Homo-oligomer: A and B are copies of this chain.
Amino acid sequence: MTEPSASARQRPIPEHCTSQTLERIGVSHTDMMGIVHHSHYVVFFERGRLEYMRRRGLSYKEFVGRGLHMPVIELNVRYRKPALFDDELHVETRLGGLTRVTVRFEYAVRRPGAEGSELLLDASVQLACVNDAQRPRGLPADVVQQLLAPERAHS
């Protein structure tokens, strides 16, 4: 067998490949049901992965400066409980998978409380590395290394 299987190509992901961001819910996030409109979480996920990268020394701005982009190619969300105005949500972003061209992030959004935190939703987002002409490109080796690194200290 010269062609490695999909699972063989998938790299093992270290446990430290996780970062957490906070999202305070404003009026603009709510809808007439009094809960956070489901569309806003998609933006929370983006912020989560940009911060995941930044805390590992990977500047998405520099990445774009190299003529590369990571558009979203797949999005899956399971909404379990609604978030409310003024909630401060914990968004956990975990690296979930890496292939030569794609990166997968997994998300858990939780609301901390007196009796422990509640899981409000979980999600996954698949991104593909493309060039300026939207053609697939292999992830550069230094980017792969940064994605697999632990968080550096951050303020």
Instruction: Show the binding face of A for B, using Cβ within 8 Å.
Output: 24, 26-28, 30-35, 37-39, 42-43, 46-47, 50-51, 59-61, 64, 69, 71-80, 82, 85-86, 134
Residues in chain B near residue A51, CB distance under 8 A: 24
The prevalent SS among residues of A at the interface is mixed
B28, B50, B71, B86: the one contacting A39 at CB < 8 Å is B28
B30, B46, B59, B76: the one contacting A76 at CB < 8 Å is B76
Residues in chain B near residue A79, CB distance under 8 A: 71-75
Q: Is the CB of B31 within 8 A of A43?
A: no
CA distance A80 to B74 in the complex (A): 9
B24, B31, B42: the one contacting A42 at CB < 8 Å is B42
Residues in chain B near residue A42, CB distance under 8 A: 38-39, 42
Q: Is the CB of B32 within 8 A of A85?
A: yes
CA distance A69 to B64 in the complex (A): 22
B24, B72, B77, B134: the one contacting A75 at CB < 8 Å is B77
B61, B69, B78: the one contacting A74 at CB < 8 Å is B78
Q: Is the CB of B27 within 8 A of A50?
A: yes
Pairs A–B under 8 Å by Cβ, sample size 17: A24-B50, A27-B32, A27-B33, A27-B46, A28-B43, A31-B31, A33-B69, A35-B71, A38-B42, A38-B71, A38-B75, A39-B46, A61-B86, A71-B79, A72-B79, A75-B75, A82-B134
